[in-house]
Structure 1
Amino acid sequence: MTSNDNWYMGCFTDTGPIKEKNEDYYSMKIVKDRDGEEMAMAAVADGMGGYQGGDLASRTAVQLLVAWWEKHAQNYLKRDDPIPAMLSALNELCEEINKHLLQEKQKAGTTLSILLLYKGMYGICHVGDSRIYRLKEGQVELQTLLRGEMEEAGLKEAPELYRTDELKMDLELYQLTEDHTWVEQQVRAGRLSKEAARTHPKRNVLTQCLGVKGGVDPYNATGTYQPSDLFMLCSDGFYSMFSHQQITHLLERREKKYVDLQKTAVDFVTLANQSGTSDNTTVMLVRNAFVEEQERSKKHTPVRKSLFKRLFK
């Protein structure tokens, strides 16, 4: 996956050290509205290893999603507030995908996690136990401007000064999706801790997915984001290997060092393999460096100019 002026992204998927085939599938698509503003759709699907044709199920789900996107996304962008309407349509699409998979000769199941990003608004449609995270950063304007200067300077790794205490980042990691699993039900009921759920023998038992039984009830969420915020979509082959705090630490270390999200995605999948994951692993990273219209005419302060000169001279 390649980046452009508005989008920084990286994605990597791997079969892993144990399984013989990769049942994960992903896609990212971008479309422009009539004013040239871009909306992105990112999706990750994890085929169910316990059923025949898990790879077919995940691929089919994403392909049907992409077909819907290419046919309808442009029309939704004619609306003033397109994301809520798109989420409603995506809920219906999940039901259609579920029915389609149920009609297949082979019993095949998959998760599907969809993220929409548009002018500082995000929307989520999700079924299963793949996850979408949001890494929220402090010092929003400063971090965004620094990344832009790094890109212009052709730097993949930040200068040493960028990694010192002078440029501390206030990072918070949020899980934006809810796991449709038996252990998550127990956590919500207060019978199991988050940490105990992470290693519980029944952690892979899903309460909802596509292609196994009739009727799905996708999880939806909406919210706002800043230009420096980072979104991560991943299958359980990655997040099951690390605690929430460990994932936050991994992201923090690489945010301070790299601007190249593709390298980070590859590193994360490699680390999951080295840590002993027994599953396929997919990690997708997306940042939308959008600029609000009123901000485009603002100039950098002398303090920022001085800092840039020190960093990128």
Structure 2
Amino acid sequence: MYHFYSQTQRGSKSSKNDDCFLINNYIAQNGSYKAQSKKNSFIIGVADGLGSAPKGSFAANYLLEQISQHKNQLTHALILNIINNVHAYLGKEFFCKASTVFTIVYSSNELITVYHLGDTRAYKLTKRNLIQLTNDHTYVQELIDAGVIGDGMRYNHPYKNVVKQSLGGKNGIHIDVYNNVFEPDERLLLTSDGIHDYLKKEEIEGILRKSTNIQENVINLINKSLEKGSSDDLTALVVKYM
């Protein structure tokens, strides 16, 4: 049995919520959603429209709508095709004014495939540790990977919000694809940067381990991020496999 819970809300500095989440065929850019399923497959996602793009919220919602419309026919090739087609459409129709980053997870028979572009994230909580499944496509992450700065400097770096890849942007894209397993008693977490730009990995893990209730997990992640000063849009999505 899979249990799902997600919540998204507009940041205090935002005029609208550019975040969006997907749980199977349900998409939202406001509020929360709770569900469960006995099926052996699911599709989830978090997309964050770029604030610098006037149509960022449209781009985030449009991508997840296209994925959801094919929920019952999804394959690896189809998901990649949808993502690339959305990139081409947004670029052609909106001239880089509709861009989004995203993390999408497709699960089938305990095997998960993560599709990622930008600075949203996917984590997996196991009995032993919290594993970050994605790598940010940001200027600061490039500095960290090159050894120019330490990981702890990411939270206060003046250019921490500079994203190097986005869907619908002017440049070509390289979609990161990660394969993993999702086993009983594990949890998946998807977040937008309004969460993980303000909470360190150990803080996120501590919140998840404090309760097995995924609704409490999400609410506590959002509240702690606000407490730490987050003014960005905030989205967290948790899946528990029992």
Same fold (TM over 0.5): yes
Contact preservation (8 Å) 1:17, 1:273:
no
Contact preservation (8 Å) 1:132, 1:233:
yes
Rounded Cα–Cα distance in structure 1 between residues aligned with 2:152 and 2:117: 22
SS in 1 for 2:94: coil
Rounded Cα–Cα distance in structure 2 between residues aligned with 1:214 and 1:204: 18
Contact preservation (8 Å) 1:95, 1:215:
no
Aligned residue type for 1:120 = E
| Equivalence for 2:102 | 112
| Equivalence for 1:12 | 7
Matches within 5 A, 1:1-313: 6-29=1-24, 37-70=39-72, 72-73=73-74, 86-105=75-94, 107-137=97-127, 171-255=128-212, 259=213, 261-289=214-242
Rounded Cα–Cα distance in structure 2 between residues aligned with 1:193 and 1:89: 38
More helix by share: 1
| Equivalence for 1:305 | none
Instruction: Structure 1: state its 5+ residue gaps.
Output: 1-5, 31-35, 74-85, 138-170, 290-313
Rounded Cα–Cα distance in structure 2 between residues aligned with 1:18 and 1:89: 37
Q: How many residues align?
A: 229
Rounded Cα–Cα distance in structure 2 between residues aligned with 1:223 and 1:121: 6
Instruction: Structure 2: state its 5+ residue gaps.
Output: 26-37
Between 196-205 and 277-286, the greater mean CA deviation after superposition: 196-205
TM-score with structure 1 length normalisation? 0.69
Give CA-to-partner distance per residue, 1:205-246, whole Å, 9 cap, x none: 111110112421100111123201110001000011111111
Contact preservation (8 Å) 1:11, 1:284:
yes
Higher CA-based Rg: 1
Contact preservation (8 Å) 1:45, 1:112:
yes
Against the structure 1 CA distance between its residues 123 and 267, is the aligned structure 2 distance closer, same or farther, given a 3 Å change threshold?
same
CA drift of 1:66 comes to 1.2
Fraction of identical pairs, as percent: 24
More strand by share: 2
SS in 1 for 2:126: strand
